[in-house]
C-alpha cells in the first residue's frame, strides 16, 4: 500500500469537505444576518430583544406623570402650550409637523397652535424648511402652572427633528 497516495487522497477529500462546510457556514451567516434585519422575526431568533426593556425616555415620562397624578396641576386652567411659527422672511412657508411623545400630532401653520399637554410630554418638531433661512418656533403662551417650557422660548430649525419642550409641572 502506498501511504503517500493514500494520504494525498485523504487530505484532498477532507479539504473539500472543510471548504464546503466553511462556504455553507458563511452563506448561513449572511442569511441569518439578513433575517435579523426584519423587525418582526428578530424577537423569535434573538433572546436579547425579548427581554429588552422600554426606552429610558418613556420611563422618565411615565415617572413624572405618576408623581404629579395626585397633585392638581390645573388648578385654574388646563395645562397647554401655544406654539407660533415665524417663517423665514420672503420664502415659502415651511412644512413642519409637531410631534408629541414620538407621534405626529399637528401641522404647524400660519395660525398659532393650541396644544393641550400632560406632565412628561415631549414636544418636537420636524419637517422641511424651504430655502436657506431657518424657521423660528416660539412658545407664545404657557397655560397652567408649568415650570417648563417658558413663555417666549424660541427654537430655530431647518426642518431636522428638534426638541421644542419637555413639559415639567
Instruction: Band the pLDDT of 69: cuts 50, 70, 90.
Output: very low
The CA distances from residue 167 to 77, 106, 151, in Å, are: 15, 17, 12
Question: What angle (nearest 5°) sits at the alpha carbon of residue 22, between those of residues 18 and 28?
Answer: 145
Mean pLDDT of the chain: 79
The CA distances from residue 100 to 13, 38, 118, 126, in Å, are: 64, 27, 10, 11
Q: Got the DSSP string for 5-23?
A: HHHHHHHHHHHHHHHHHHH
Question: What's this model's pTM, rounded to 2 decimal places?
Answer: 0.52
Does the pLDDT of residue 3 top 70, yes or no? yes
Does the pLDDT of residue 1 top 80, yes or no? no
At 75-110, the pLDDT tens digits run: 446 788 888 888 887 777 788 888 888 888 888 877
Is residue 154 a contact partner of residue 169, using CB atoms and an 8 Å limit? no
Does the pLDDT of residue 67 top 50, yes or no? no
Dihedral of alpha carbons 162, 106, 166, 133, sign? positive
Q: Which of 20-29, 53-62, 130-139, 158-167 has the highest mean pLDDT?
A: 20-29
Show the cell assigned to 19: 471548504
Dihedral of alpha carbons 104, 82, 161, 69, sign? negative
Show the cell assigned to 14: 477532507
User: Cell 400630532 belongs to which residue?
Assistant: 105
Amino acid at each position: 500500500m502506498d501511504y503517500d497516495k493514500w494520504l494525498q487522497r485523504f487530505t484532498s477529500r477532507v479539504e473539500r469537505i472543510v471548504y464546503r462546510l466553511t462556504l455553507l457556514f458563511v452563506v448561513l451567516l449572511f442569511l441569518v444576518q439578513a433575517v435579523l434585519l426584519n423587525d418582526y422575526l428578530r424577537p423569535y431568533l434573538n433572546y436579547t430583544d425579548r427581554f429588552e426593556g422600554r426606552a429610558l425616555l418613556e420611563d422618565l415620562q411615565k415617572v413624572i406623570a405618576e408623581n404629579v397624578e395626585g397633585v392638581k396641576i390645573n388648578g385654574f386652567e388646563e395645562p397647554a402650550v401655544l406654539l407660533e411659527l415665524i417663517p423665514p422672511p420672503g420664502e415659502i412657508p415651511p412644512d413642519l409637523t409637531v410631534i408629541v411623545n414620538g407621534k405626529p400630532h399637528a401641522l404647524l401653520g400660519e395660525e398659532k397652535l393650541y396644544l393641550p399637554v400632560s406632565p412628561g410630554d415631549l414636544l418636537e418638531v420636524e419637517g422641511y424648511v424651504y430655502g436657506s433661512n431657518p424657521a423660528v418656533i416660539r412658545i407664545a403662551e404657557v397655560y397652567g402652572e408649568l415650570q417648563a417650557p417658558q413663555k417666549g422660548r424660541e427654537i430655530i430649525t431647518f426642518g431636522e427633528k428638534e426638541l421644542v419642550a419637555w413639559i415639567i409641572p
